[in-house]
Amino acid sequence: MYNEKMIKLGKERSDIRELFEYAVERKKIVGSENVFDFSLGNPGVPAPPSVAAETERLLREMPAEALHGYSSAPGIYEVRAAVADYIRSQFGAPMDPALVYMTCGASASLTIVLNAVLNAGDEVVVPAPFFPEYRVFIEQAGGKLVIAPTDENFRLDATLLAPYINARTRAVLINSPNNPSGVVYTEGEIAALSQLLREKSAGRETPILLLADEPYRELTYGAKVPYVMRHYEHSLVLYSFSKSLSLAGERIGYIAVSPKCHGARELFSAVCGAGRALGYVCAPVLFQRVVAKCLGQSSDVERYRQNRDLLYGALTEYGYRCTVPEGAFYLFVRSPEPDTRAFCRRAREHELLLVPSDSFGVRGYVRISYCVPHSVIERSLPAFKALMEEYR
Amino acid sequence: MYNEKMIKLGKERSDIRELFEYAVERKKIVGSENVFDFSLGNPGVPAPPSVAAETERLLREMPAEALHGYSSAPGIYEVRAAVADYIRSQFGAPMDPALVYMTCGASASLTIVLNAVLNAGDEVVVPAPFFPEYRVFIEQAGGKLVIAPTDENFRLDATLLAPYINARTRAVLINSPNNPSGVVYTEGEIAALSQLLREKSAGRETPILLLADEPYRELTYGAKVPYVMRHYEHSLVLYSFSKSLSLAGERIGYIAVSPKCHGARELFSAVCGAGRALGYVCAPVLFQRVVAKCLGQSSDVERYRQNRDLLYGALTEYGYRCTVPEGAFYLFVRSPEPDTRAFCRRAREHELLLVPSDSFGVRGYVRISYCVPHSVIERSLPAFKALMEEYR
């Protein structure tokens, strides 16, 4: 028959995607204004105006055959150079355009890097909670996901992570600002993790890699996001413009390999090889050019902050328990009953679409994506209140 | 160390990509007008005006957050429906929007389908010559490429292909109009192949699939391209808009699974699963919307015809041997010496960048991509002439 593993993956879908599809259908029945869809991290704040301005300029000024033609496999050189310049000037980390690979978004950044660095059976340690598709991507690349705990507030704690590192550990994969917890790891936390990785790498032929998945870097409410390459030499940054520039559907991002990485050139060859094998050469070119002019910009974070403040304030008032997110656009809320899926089903009866935390690697929570229009949050509050009253 | 297979793939690069990179460097040295780069199938004729018009309309009329946000994993429903409508009306083949998966270009169409249908060790029979990355994609999906011959003019001949089909054969993968030969398979040739596949599938639990890779469908010089689904029920069409709409760098295409395929729904689930595992959910959305309005259109094929006629006429006059291409934009020319790589090196001394046929699965030929500005062909002719004179 066809590939059973793929059939299974295709049928089960992720909790998030399933809710997204459910929402589409449900809205047809009860009206889109009556469904409070907090399932997907689809940016609700528009791209900054510079995105449209640059897109229109390119369409106007470049001949179509040059604008839309193939780029070199790892991307347009000038774009890679702009990314490298930005990393150097903004973060004070060394970077070489020859070590930047433009990708078709965050998923591509992850699958390419994982296929490039993993050999069969290699382990990737991931602090929980984490983006559920990490498991799919790691396993597809022949690796094994190893879940490490964080502290009770989901903060990175090197001493809690240490026991999960062994001789098969090829990489640690972190995501800060974190989806789904909203935690931003501090300089101290990253420094401690780096120290641990240095110790654990001693005597190994190839050091353990630190992979930083950073689609939410620019979306913080005051917290500073440390740049991993400044703390640990064997680092790769996996970036996407999906959230920062509200371009989730355009699939554009990059991989940056630290020049200080053990065998950086060899590692970059593996990135090129994995890109080739998976069919990921030449990321979408129009948006390669657009993002090169919008580096470091972001959509209006204030609007996410307003959403966060309204939702966090109301939910804690109603009796929900959660910590205030420092970045990204998710609220991670403790389920009032132990069975989170049962809680989510009950929420659904109030037309509230929430994602259970089980597939994020922790139990007992739900994720609320508040990257929606402010009015959706306003209108949803009575439903959240009524839902909690069922638990009194 | 890192993944050795990927390092190797990344280092060797393809002949085509290597020449492309060489051309970039060489042009810096001798001036771009003095390098005759026939290496890459990068469309030189601009996209039809409807592409820019539709792009600009979308930018103007749709709110940015809706325009650039995520679509459903297999694509925007209305876009999938438009593709299905087009297939039904244009080709008279049944099609269901639920069996259309929008992809990030031809490579993605191939890697997704191969990962969806192959189990470890399954064989894919490919008539030669063929696009060299087929080997990489098939092997990455755990399969084995089996090269079948075509006739002396590179025409599809079911009797020549038959001995290469066995119990491990999961699919036959064809590409018409063909890269690199320019041959367009006739209705009779496709009918004979279909009859063969029906015979060979008798008594099997799952019939052999016919995969049609069709990025050049609209680029023909009068030849009609049969629609495989009308001939064989267990067919998938793997399409890309890269060449037809001159959007090679934008990475947009689709997979269409025939509703008559054995276990079509199950097969489509496998496509969704493979898309998910490889990170290919939600193809670039702006161009999903653009191509939905440009189905069946193409860039100006007359300009490719003028290139073909000039090049074919001059080269045969100089003593080169080749058949006239019926479609696509490649001339497949017999090498005047048995060692094609030696011939290509000699051509390079005349600043002619040609691709040796070895990696296309046949020996003794070179591929000339004539999708370049007409003036490049005009200026290159003395070089072609001088090159042939070295062989007299």
Q: Measured between alpha carbons, how far is residue A171 from residues A165, A167, A315, B36 in Å? A: 9, 11, 37, 45
CB pairs under 8 A between A and B: 263
pLDDT band at A15 (very low <50, low <70, confident <90, very high): confident
Q: Clarify whether residues B195 and B250 are in a common domain.
A: yes
CB contact under 8 A, B2 and A40: no
- Decide if B274 and A3 are in contact by the 8 Å CB cutoff: yes
End-to-end CA distance of chain A: 52
* B70 with A248: Cβ contact below 8 A: yes
Q: Of all residues in chain A, what percent carry a pLDDT higher than 90?
A: 94
Considering the domain architecture, whether residues B367 and B276 belong to the same structural domain is answered as no
- Asked if pLDDT for residue B48 goes beyond 90, the answer is yes
CA distance B101 to B110: 12
Residue in A7, A105, A247 closest to B273 by CB:
A7
CA distance A317 to chain B (A): 31
How many angstroms separate the CA atoms of B56 and B52, rounded? 6
Question: In terms of domains, do B30 and B120 share one?
Answer: no
Residue recorded with tokens 């052999």? B208
State residue B132's pLDDT score.
93
Instruction: Compare CB distances from B270 to A3, A278, A285 and report the shortest one's residue.
Output: A3
Q: Are B143 and B171 in contact (CB under 8 A)?
A: no
Q: Which residues of B touch A272 (CB under 8 A)?
A: 9-11, 13
**How close A69 gets to chain B, by Cα (Å)?**
5
Q: Which of A17, A63, A140 sits opposite B278 (nearest CB)?
A: A140
Residue positions counted in chain A: 392
Q: How confident is the model at residue A21 (pLDDT cuts 50, 70, 90)?
A: confident
> Of the candidates B77, B279, B286, which has its C-beta nearest A111's C-beta?
B279
**DSSP conformation letters of A340-388:** HHHHHHHHHHTTEE-EESGGGT-SSEEEEE--S-HHHHHHHHHHHHHHH
Contact (Cβ atoms closer than 8 angstroms) between residue B267 and residue B278: no
Q: Are A242 and A287 in contact (CB under 8 A)?
A: no
A224-248 pLDDT per residue, tens: 999 999 999 999 999 999 999 999 9
Task: Indicate whether A14 pLDDT > 80.
Answer: no
The pLDDT, as a whole number, for residue A189 is 98
The candidate with the shortest Cα–Cα distance to B118, out of B11, B53, B208, B195, is: B208
B-chain CB neighbours of A11 within 8 Å are 269, 272-273
Instruction: Please give the residue of chain A at the shortest CA–CA distance from B204.
Output: A1
Q: With an 8 Å Cβ cutoff, are B3 and A269 in contact?
A: no
Mind listing the pLDDT tens digit for each residue in B229-245?
Answer: 999 999 999 999 999 99
Residue A361 burial by Cβ neighbours in a 10 Å radius (0-12, 13-18, 19+)? buried
Instruction: Give mean pLDDT, residues A253-268.
Output: 98
Answer yes or no: are the C-beta atoms of B131 and B107 closer than 8 Å. no
Work out the angle at residue A353's Cα, subtended by the Cα atoms of residues A348 and A354, and round it to the nearest 5 degrees. 110
The reply to whether omega before A129 is within 30° of 0 (cis) is yes
Among A228, A263, A292, give the residue marking a domain's end. Answer: A292
The 3-state DSSP composition of chain A as helix, strand, coil percent (nearest 5) reads 45, 15, 40
* Nearest residue, CB atoms, B59 vs list A43, A55, A119: A55
Contact between B3 and A249 using a beta-carbon 8 Å cutoff:
no
Sign of CA dihedral B275, B227, B42, B52: negative
| Token output for B346 | 């000699």
Residue A388, both tokens: 């909690």
- The residues that bridge with A123 in the sheet, in sequence order, are A144, A169
Q: Are residues B244 and B143 in the same domain?
A: yes
Tell me how close the Cα of A351 comes to any Cα of chain B, in angstroms: 20
Reply yes or no on whether the pLDDT at B17 is more than 90: no
Residue A13 confidence (pLDDT) above 70: no
Task: Tell me what the mean pLDDT of segment B378-391 comes to.
Answer: 97
* CB crowding B341-366: b at 16 or more within 10 Å, else e: eebbebbbebbbbbbbbbbbbbebbb
pLDDT tens for B258-276 read 999 999 999 999 999 999 9
**Shortest Cα distance, chain A CAs vs residue B56, angstroms:** 7
Nearest to B282 among A136, A205, A249 (CB): A249
* Mean pLDDT for all residues in chain B: 96
pLDDT of B339 higher than 70? yes
Condensed to tens digits (0 to 9), the pLDDT of residues A38-85 reads: 998 899 999 999 999 999 999 999 999 999 999 999 999 999 999 999
What is the pLDDT at residue A89?
A: 98
What is the pLDDT confidence band of residue B162, given thresholds at 50, 70 and 90? very high
**Chain A closest CA to B156's CA: distance in Å?**
26
How does pLDDT run across A116-149, given as a tens digit for each residue? 999 999 999 999 999 999 999 999 999 999 999 9
> Which residue is it, tokens 């395929």?
B261
Is B250 in Cβ contact with A285 (below 8 Å)?
yes
Question: Same domain for A220 and A114?
Answer: yes
Chain B residues lying within 8 Å of A1, measured CB to CB: 205-206, 263, 266
Domain end call among A292, A325, A359: A292
Looking at the structure, tell me whether residues A239 and A131 fall in a common domain: yes
Residues of A in contact with B270 (CB under 8 A): 2-3, 6-7, 10
Residue in B closest to A204 by C-alpha:
B1
Which residues on chain A are in Cβ contact (under 8 Å) with B267? 2
- Distance between A331 CA and the closest CA of chain B, angstroms: 20
The pLDDT-based confidence of B13 (bands split at 50, 70, 90) is low
pLDDT of B20 higher than 90: no
What CATH number is given to the structural domain containing A221? 3.40.640.10
Same domain for A8 and A122 = no
3-state secondary structure of B167: coil
What pLDDT score was predicted for residue B12?
A: 83
ipTM of the shown complex: 0.96
Which SS3 state, helix, strand or coil, does residue A93 take?
A: coil
What residues of chain B lie within 8 A of the CB of A270, using their CB? 2-3, 6-7, 10
Number of domains in chain B: 2
> Nearest C-alpha of chain A: how many angstroms from B358?
19
Nearest residue on chain A to B287, alpha-carbon basis: A250
Average pLDDT, chain A: 96
Instruction: Provide the token pair at A62.
Output: 């470049």
Q: Who's near A188: CB < 8 A, 6+ residues apart?
A: none
Residues A76, A70: Cα–Cα separation, whole Å: 9
Q: Above 90 in pLDDT, residue A24?
A: no
Nearest to B246 among A68, A273, A275 (CB): A68
Provide the residue range defining the domain that includes B34: 4-48+299-389
Q: Is A287's CB within 8 Å of B285's CB?
A: no
Tokens of A74: 């790892």
| Sign of the dihedral defined by the CA atoms of residues B150, B153, B158, B162, in that order | negative
In chain B, which residues have their Cβ closer than 8 Å to the Cβ of A294?
none
Same-domain check for residues B40 and B92: no
pLDDT(A17) > 80: no
d(CA B166, CA B144): 13
Set of chain A residues whose Cβ sits within 8 Å of the Cβ of B372: none
Alpha-carbon gap, residue A187 to A228, rounded angstroms: 9
**Alpha helices (H) along chain A:** 4-12, 15-30, 49-61, 64-67, 77-91, 106-117, 133-140, 158-161, 187-201, 264-278, 285-292, 301-318, 340-349, 374-389
Chain A partners of B115 at a C-beta cutoff of 8 Å?
A: 3, 6
pLDDT at B18: 81
Angle between helices A4-12 and B264-278 (to 10 degrees): 80
The distance of B98 to chain A (nearest Cα, Å) reads 13
The share of chain A scoring above pLDDT 70, in percent, equals 100
Which residue of B15, B27, B65 is the best one to mutate when testing the A interface, meaning the one whose CB has the most A CBs within 10 A?
B65
CA gap A274, A140 in Å, rounded? 12
pLDDT digit string, tens, across residues A293-351 = 999 999 999 999 999 999 999 999 999 999 999 999 999 999 999 999 999 999 999 99
Contacts of A107 in chain B (CB under 8 A): 279-281
Residue at which a domain ends, from A261, A292, A323: A292
In whole angstroms, what is the distance from residue A212 CA to residue A127 CA?
12
**What is the pLDDT at residue A297?**
95
Same domain assignment for residues B280 and B345: no
B83 and B196: one domain? yes
Same domain? B44 vs B71: no
Residue B306, H or E segment: helix B301-318
Give just the sign of the alpha carbon dihedral B116, B119, B120, B123. negative
Which chain A residues are Cβ-neighbours of B67 within 8 angstroms?
249
Which pLDDT does position A93 carry in this prediction?
A: 98
Looking at the DSSP bridge assignments, the partners of residue A367 are A332, A355
Residues in chain B with CB shorter than 8 Å from the CB of A45 are 65
* pLDDT, tens only, B63-117: 999 999 999 899 999 999 999 999 999 999 999 999 999 999 999 999 999 999 9
Reduced to 3 states (helix: H, G, I; strand: E, B; else coil), residue A195 is helix
- For residue A325, the domain's CATH number is 3.90.1150.10
Task: Report the distance separating Cα B70 and Cα B65, nearest Å.
Answer: 9
Same structural domain, A149 and A258: yes
Give the pLDDT score at B375. Answer: 95
* Angstrom distance (rounded) from CA B133 to CA B84: 28
